[in-house]
Amino acid sequence: MPPKIILASTSPYRRELLSRLGLPFDVANPETDESQLPGEAPEAMALRLSEKKARAVAKDFPGALIIGSDQVATVNGKIYGKPGSHQRAVAQLKELSGKTVNFFTGLCLLDSNSGEADVRGVPTLVRFRELSDSEIENYLRREPAYNCAGSAKSEGLGIALLASMQGDDPNALVGLPLIALCDMLRKRGVEVL
């Protein structure tokens, strides 16, 4: 019998992505502090938090494989988080206009029995077009992406804000790198196909 799979996330985007694999899974809220540690590089933060989220729910699910994921969006070391409001989303998109953003996604698959964790990082470089104020307002009016790092949903209308994307897995940009996850699951004996 395959191990139970737990997604340590409340993100509806990660839940939808994982459901594409057709594997049964449950969802648990990791309730973790996502603050950056002093002097911590953004990529190191995403890796640390992906594992921290998985470990936060491990005690509740013995014998399970637990998936944790975290993403940071950066330009020249500055982190762009979830804006949370229209005003902050407008400000973010104005700052990101014409720039290349590194969306770095940390992914962890934790075996709750052994405590072994496979932790990987998947970068996606996204170049935003030069955006006018009216394009930004029109976009946010139609798709208020206030809960998305970088204020744009690439899986939705936000794709119209972009000039290019470069990465190994388009799902990583949405928050759950499925190519890497499938590899991790296979190594733990879970057949995806």
What does the alpha-carbon distance between residue 142 and residue 159 come to, in Å, rounded to a whole number?
A: 13
Is the torsion defined by CA of 157, 154, 182, 52 positive or negative?
negative
Q: How many helices (H) and strands (E) does the chain have?
A: 6, 7
Task: Show the tokens assigned to 91.
Answer: 């400000």
User: Residues 26, 60, 70, 118: which is the catalytic one?
Assistant: 70
What does the alpha-carbon distance between residue 101 and residue 98 come to, in Å, rounded to a whole number?
A: 10
Helix (H, G, I), strand (E, B) or coil at 192: coil
CATH assignment at residue 80: 3.90.950.10
Residue 152 sits in which domain range? 4-187
The reported pLDDT for the residue numbered 101 is 96
Using the predicted structure, report yes or no on whether residue 1 has a pLDDT greater than 80. Answer: no
Write out pLDDT tens, residues 92-105: 999 999 999 999 99
82 assigned to some structural domain: yes
The reported pLDDT for the residue numbered 81 is 86
193 assigned to some structural domain: no
Write out pLDDT tens, residues 119-151: 999 999 999 999 999 999 999 999 999 988 889
The reported pLDDT for the residue numbered 77 is 87
Write out pLDDT tens, residues 11-37: 898 999 999 999 999 999 999 998 999
Write out pLDDT tens, residues 38-77: 999 999 999 999 999 999 999 999 999 999 999 999 999 8
User: How many domains does the chain divide into?
Assistant: 1
192 assigned to some structural domain: no
110 assigned to some structural domain: yes
60 is catalytic: no
Q: Is the pTM of this model over 0.85?
A: yes
169 assigned to some structural domain: yes
